[in-house]
Amino acid sequence: MEKHVPLLQIKNITKVYNVGDNRLDILKGINLTVEEGEFVAIMGPSGSGKSTLMHILGLLDRPTDGVYEIYGENVLKFNDNQTAFLRSKIIGFVFQQYNLLNKMTAADNVALPMVYSGGKNRKEKSEQLLNEVGLSDRIEHKPTQLSGGQQQRVAIARSLVNDPKIIFADEPTGNLSSKQSNEIMQILTDLNKKGISVILVTHEPDIAKWADRLIMIKDGQVLSDTIQKKKEKVDTKPLKIKKESSHLSIAEFAENFFSAIRAIISNKTRSILTMLGIIIGVASIISMLALGNGAQKALEQQITSMGTNLLYLMPGRISLGGVSGTVARRIYLKDVEALATNTELIKNIDPNVNGSVQVVYGNKNSNTSITGATPAYQYLQNAVPQYGRFFTRSENENLAKVCVIGTTVVKNLFGNENPVGKYIKINRKQFRVIGILPVKGAQGYRDGDDMVIVPLNTAMKRLLGTNYVSSVAVEVQDGKMSETETYLLQTMLERNKLTSEQADAFRIRNMSDMIQMLTSTTQTMTMLLGAVAGISLIVGGIGIMNIMLVSVSERTREIGLRKAIGATRIAVLLQFLIESSVLSLLGGILGVSLGIGISVIVSKVAGWATFISTFSIVLSVGFSAIVGIVFGLWPAKKASELSPIEALRYD
Ligand code: ADP
């Protein structure tokens, strides 16, 4: 035969509070045994320690010392999961203040413990219980739409939802009229008749009369223990108490998720203000990266269209006031010819002169820039005419008066007329238009299409009257870039009898250097902008943490209640983590939309190139989720570590 174990037994339980320097002995060694099926009332004057005892029995609080056994198991040694299991499955608690969650309907309040216990058919069960306590017509009502007595009946239904073995009721009628009190006591009596043990705390003798056994407490000690009504003893079978840890169920996740959404919706303004930080952060990351990537892409396009193996040779800068020794030297055509002999390094060479001229056609005239070039120009500068042709070598050698013009010049002089074959006047000399240059678009502040190109010799001798060139474009053989740079400079210095200290007599500009410099500048800019945007995300995260802390302290009572009905520490932690993640993810998604909107508007209005990469979207949404989790962790941890009764008493 199995050994008889009582439903619960406490031995020498004490509770001491230290308030300042004062030691308050509230419970001074209480011994008590309750058998299965009993209906016990605990009575005593106010301040005698009744509630403290109830909270210890209901596992909402811990004693300072003593032993507490349920079905023979020392429950004070249980871990958080096991204690939560007892609160959920073995114990039902009914509070004087009902402690219903105001944002939920009666049915949802009743079903809440099943979320944590993982019970099935929650809706049916809660409706059946509400029916049993006489509230079948109040299922969808919120607690604020119910009377005190009705709220207490909802609370009783909630305490029954996981089929507990024992119900603890702490002054359940304390806030009710005598008619409502009797109804509640009738419900408790009926439950007891069905085999559920009931332990009740009251200070009213009328209420205590309903119980079978009456325990009087005074100054933290049991004064008397009397049987009021004889009752048949029920034989108790030891119950297996689940000890393994529980895991997060889908129902629990869904409940957390929707309670997070409810919390966000019920505090609309606050939520939006909180999310604003994240929204601004994410939107700025998205739009900054879009701008940076767009600039990068535009540059890359320029690189592929220009060819990276171009060098420009130019005279050095003339120093102002003749201070430190810049000795700029001119470049003559015979220099260019000498340079061009090294075909191992140089593929193509194109000396240029530049100037500005007046062009006239009929009664229209315009000022434009002119370039004198060799036929190689069209290949080095991607300027093969789209209409007509470029001039030939012999035209250059013969000082032919032919020209190729840009589209802006066409527009200014000819309108819709076809210019090819027509004659225009350049500095009062007749030139035949033989081709139209391809469209280049804006180049910095210059219009790349407002130009005229004539043969180099024609420009030097007939138009500008110079015997030296402005610059020399050199197309380098593959892989010979730095060699050619040295060669160009060395040759020019030698031909001018200059030493290497006077190297700044000439300048050599390298296209790929320039492009690399520009690329790294845009990259640095992009990173810098991204970092600034990242900081605003962190600031947004701190905003979320702040709001979560407020939310935790506002809802401390709710946390206490959730723990009292069986939520584990992990469940509470997850609830708040989910809430902060939802908040920041929602902010992230809104921020992405705003960022995309800004990029589109900027590219439309300012004409800047933008490019939104999937990477930047994933990055910023992921980052905002992490911000939510990281910054939500501390408030969530704070909430999860509260003891149920501390949390319930919080104001
Ligand atoms: P009862 O329910 O019998 O009216 P309680 O159990 O609520 O009494 O309280 C018993 C005593 O414990 C009271 O004198 C109260 O002031 C004290 N007390 C309760 N909680 C605390 C606490 N957290 N800190 C200090 N004293 C407390």
Closest residue by CA, ligand 1 atom 27:
17
User: Do 468 and 558 reside in the same domain of the chain?
Assistant: no
Please compute, for residue 208, the number of CA atoms within 13 A of its CA located in the half-sphere on the CB side. 19
User: pTM score, two decimals?
Assistant: 0.66
CA distance 581 to 599: 26
Ligand 1 pocket check for 220: Cβ under 6 Å: no
Beta-carbon contacts of residue 617 (< 8 Å; ≥ 6 apart): 286, 592
User: Do 221 and 293 reside in the same domain of the chain?
Assistant: no
Is residue 507 domain-resident? no
Per-residue confidence (pLDDT) for residue 146, from 0 to 100: 92
Tokens representing 500 are 């290497």
Ligand 1 pocket check for 15: Cβ under 6 Å: no
Mean pLDDT taken over the chain: 86
Is residue 343 domain-resident? yes
- Tell me what the mean pLDDT of segment 542-553 comes to: 80
Ligand 1 pocket check for 51: Cβ under 6 Å: yes
pLDDT at 306 over 70: no
Tokens representing 429 are 């000399």
User: Do 536 and 427 reside in the same domain of the chain?
Assistant: no
CB-neighbour burial class of residue 623 (10 A; exposed 0-12, middle 13-18, buried 19+): buried
* SS3 state at 466: coil
Is residue 218 domain-resident? yes
pLDDT at 632 over 60: yes
Closest residue by CA, ligand 1 atom 5:
49
Ligand 1 centroid to residue 26 C-alpha, Å? 7
Q: What is the domain range of residue 421?
A: 330-497
Tokens representing 649 are 């008493």
Beta-carbon contacts of residue 555 (< 8 Å; ≥ 6 apart): 263, 639
pLDDT digits (tens, 9 = 90+) for 176-231: 888 888 988 998 899 898 889 999 999 889 999 999 999 999 999 999 999 888 77
Is residue 249 domain-resident? no
Q: Ligand 1, residues 13, 16, 28, 52: which to mutate, most atoms within 8 A of Cβ?
A: 52
Q: CA of 419: how far to CAs of 361, 429, 503, in Å?
A: 10, 17, 45
Ligand 1 pocket check for 22: Cβ under 6 Å: no
Complete DSSP assignment for 226-275: EESS--PPPPPPP-PPP-SPP---HHHHHHHHHHHHHHHHHTHHHHHHHH
Ligand 1 pocket check for 246: Cβ under 6 Å: no
- Tell me what the mean pLDDT of segment 408-413 comes to: 93
pLDDT at 242 over 80: no
Tell me the backbone φ, ψ of residue 16, rounded to 5 degrees: -120, 130
Ordered alpha helix ranges (H), 418-499: 456-458, 481-495
CA geometry: angle 621, 626, 627, nearest 5 deg? 95
- Tell me what the mean pLDDT of segment 388-415 comes to: 94
Tokens representing 212 are 């079978």
pLDDT band at residue 444 under the 50/70/90 scheme: very low
Is residue 321 domain-resident? no
**CATH assignment at residue 81:** 3.40.50.300
pLDDT band at residue 246 under the 50/70/90 scheme: low
Per-residue confidence (pLDDT) for residue 243, from 0 to 100: 56
Ligand 1 pocket check for 47: Cβ under 6 Å: yes
Ligand 1 centroid to residue 325 C-alpha, Å? 93
Beta strands in 444-487 (DSSP E): 446-447, 451-455, 468-469, 471-476
CA distance 294 to 431: 42
Ligand 1 centroid to residue 51 C-alpha, Å? 7
User: Do 156 and 81 reside in the same domain of the chain?
Assistant: yes
Per-residue confidence (pLDDT) for residue 352, from 0 to 100: 95
Is residue 505 domain-resident? no
CA geometry: angle 72, 249, 74, nearest 5 deg? 15
Best CA proximity match to 72, nearest among 13, 12, 2: 2
Ligand 1 centroid to residue 219 C-alpha, Å? 11
Per DSSP, the chain holds a count of helices (H) and strands (E) of 20, 24
DSSP class of residue 509? E
Dihedral of alpha carbons 620, 624, 629, 630, sign? positive
Ligand 1 centroid to residue 451 C-alpha, Å? 94
Ligand 1 pocket check for 49: Cβ under 6 Å: yes
Ligand 1 centroid to residue 63 C-alpha, Å? 13
CA distance 592 to 613: 11
pLDDT digits (tens, 9 = 90+) for 427-440: 999 999 999 999 87
User: Do 230 and 271 reside in the same domain of the chain?
Assistant: no
pLDDT at 131 over 60: yes
Ligand 1 centroid to residue 332 C-alpha, Å? 104
Ligand 1 pocket check for 202: Cβ under 6 Å: no
User: Do 415 and 530 reside in the same domain of the chain?
Assistant: no
Best CA proximity match to 387, nearest among 407, 362, 367: 407
Ligand 1 pocket check for 236: Cβ under 6 Å: no
Ligand 1 centroid to residue 158 C-alpha, Å? 26
User: Do 240 and 265 reside in the same domain of the chain?
Assistant: no
The answer to whether 639 and 572 are in contact (CB under 8 A) is: yes
CA distance 502 to 328: 9
DSSP class of residue 54? H
Per-residue confidence (pLDDT) for residue 241, from 0 to 100: 66
Dihedral of alpha carbons 453, 454, 460, 465, sign? negative
User: Do 234 and 276 reside in the same domain of the chain?
Assistant: no
Ligand 1 centroid to residue 162 C-alpha, Å? 30
Instruction: Report CA Rg, the chain.
Output: 44
Beta-carbon contacts of residue 85 (< 8 Å; ≥ 6 apart): 241, 242, 246, 566
Q: CA of 477: how far to CAs of 227, 345, 383, 482, 587, in Å?
A: 111, 5, 20, 11, 54
- Tell me what the mean pLDDT of segment 485-496 comes to: 92
Place of tokens 């002119």: 370
Domain count, the chain: 3
C-alpha 555, offset from chain centre: 24
The enclosing H or E element of 443 equals strand 442-443
User: Do 438 and 580 reside in the same domain of the chain?
Assistant: no
Ligand 1 pocket check for 48: Cβ under 6 Å: yes
Amino acid identity, position 167: I
User: Do 292 and 420 reside in the same domain of the chain?
Assistant: no
Ligand 1 pocket check for 649: Cβ under 6 Å: no
Ligand 1 pocket check for 24: Cβ under 6 Å: yes
Ligand 1 pocket check for 52: Cβ under 6 Å: yes
Q: Ligand 1, residues 51, 170, 207: which to mutate, most atoms within 8 A of Cβ?
A: 51
Tell me the backbone φ, ψ of residue 307, rounded to 5 degrees: 80, 135
Dihedral of alpha carbons 200, 205, 207, 212, sign? positive
pLDDT digits (tens, 9 = 90+) for 9-19: 999 999 999 98
Closest residue by CA, ligand 1 atom 24:
17
For residue 557, list its beta bridge partners.
none
Ligand 1 pocket check for 363: Cβ under 6 Å: no
Ligand 1 pocket check for 250: Cβ under 6 Å: no
The answer to whether 540 and 627 are in contact (CB under 8 A) is: yes
Across 131-145, 429-443, 453-467, 536-550, least confident range:
536-550
Closest residue by CA, ligand 1 atom 7:
51
Ligand 1 centroid to residue 172 C-alpha, Å? 18
User: Do 17 and 141 reside in the same domain of the chain?
Assistant: yes
Best CA proximity match to 122, nearest among 89, 162, 152, 150: 162
Ligand 1 centroid to residue 473 C-alpha, Å? 94
User: Do 109 and 216 reside in the same domain of the chain?
Assistant: yes
Per-residue confidence (pLDDT) for residue 244, from 0 to 100: 55
Is residue 334 domain-resident? yes
Best CA proximity match to 585, nearest among 377, 213, 367, 275: 275
Ordered alpha helix ranges (H), 333-480: 333-340, 377-380, 393-397, 407-414, 456-458
pLDDT digits (tens, 9 = 90+) for 71-130: 888 999 988 888 888 898 899 999 988 899 888 899 999 998 888 887 788 889 999 999
Strand order in the sheet with 65-70: 22-34, 8-19, 65-70, 73-74
- Tell me what the mean pLDDT of segment 472-497 comes to: 91
Is residue 508 domain-resident? no
Atom of ligand 1 nearest to the CA of 170: 2
- Tell me what the mean pLDDT of segment 442-458 comes to: 80
Tokens representing 28 are 């001074």
Tell me the backbone φ, ψ of residue 444, rounded to 5 degrees: 65, -125
Amino acid identity, position 268: K
Ligand 1 pocket check for 45: Cβ under 6 Å: no
Per-residue confidence (pLDDT) for residue 149, from 0 to 100: 86
Atom of ligand 1 nearest to the CA of 171: 2
Give the percent of the chain with pLDDT over 70: 92
Q: What is the dihedral of CA 235, 238, 239, 243, to 10 degrees?
A: 160
Tokens representing 202 are 């009251």
Atom of ligand 1 nearest to the CA of 48: 3
Q: Ligand 1, residues 24, 25, 223: which to mutate, most atoms within 8 A of Cβ?
A: 24
